[in-house]
Amino acid sequence: MAKSGYKSISRIDTPAKRTHGWYVRVYFNRTMHSKFFSDSVYGGSDEALQEAIRYRNELEKKIGKPRTDRHVVTASPRNQSGVIGVQRKVKRSKTRHGKISESEVYEVTWNPEPNVIRRTSVSIDRYGEEEAFRRACKIRQEKEREMYGRELQALDSVTKPPSPPASSE
C-alpha cells in the first residue's frame, strides 16, 4: 500500500522542482496508465488527493480492473495454459512403500487473502486432457469470483487446453 493509504496513488514532493502532488499509476493487462494531480491546480493536498482517488476509481472501471486494494494478476508472458492461475504440471509424490509416483495434473492456484497461496490439482490421468483443463478453469473462475467479485477471464476465451510438452524419450 502506498504512503497515501490508497493503492496506486503516491505522494510526490520535490521542493527543488516545486513539484507537489499525487501521482496515480494503474497497471493492468501489460499497460501502465498514469496521471499527476498537482496541489496547486486542485487547491491543496487534500483536494488533489480526492481528485486522484476519483480518477483512479473511474480509470479502473473503464479498463476493466476490479476495484480492490489487492494485487490483481493478469496476463503473464510465462503463462503456457492461456488461463491465469492454471498450469500443467507433473506432480511427484511418495507412495506408502517409499517409491516416487508421478502423475500429470492441471494445478490451480489462487490467493484468498494477502500473503496466502492456495492450490489444488485436477488429474489428467483420471479425467483426460480436455476435461481436466475444463475443470481446472472452472475452479479458477470460482476462486476469482470469491476474490474479486467477478471473473477476470471468461472460460470461452480459451477453447482448448495447451498441447502437452513433447516427451524427452
CA-to-CA distance for 123 and 143, rounded, in angstroms? 19
pLDDT of residue 161: 66
Q: Are residues 129 and 91 in the same domain?
A: yes
Q: What is the mean pLDDT of residues 43-54?
A: 95
- The answer to whether residues 98 and 142 belong to one domain is yes
Answer yes or no: is 58 within a domain: yes
Give domain status of residue 21, yes or no. yes
Provide the residue range defining the domain that includes 14.
Answer: 9-63
Which amino acid does the sequence have at 5? G
59 with 90, same domain: the answer is no
In a domain, 111, yes or no: yes
Task: Measure the CA angle with vertex 56, ends 42 and 30; round to 5°.
Answer: 135
What pTM does this model have?
A: 0.58
116 and 149 part of one domain: yes
Structural domain count, the chain? 2
Do 96 and 43 share a structural domain?
A: no
Confirm whether 90 is domain-assigned: yes
pLDDT digits (tens, 9 = 90+) for 121-163: 999 999 999 999 999 999 999 988 888 777 766 655 555 666 6
State whether 100 and 152 are in the same domain: yes
Distances in Å between the alpha carbon of 19 and those of 12, 39, 92?
7, 9, 56
pLDDT of 62 reads 92
User: What is the predicted pLDDT for the residue at 114?
Assistant: 77
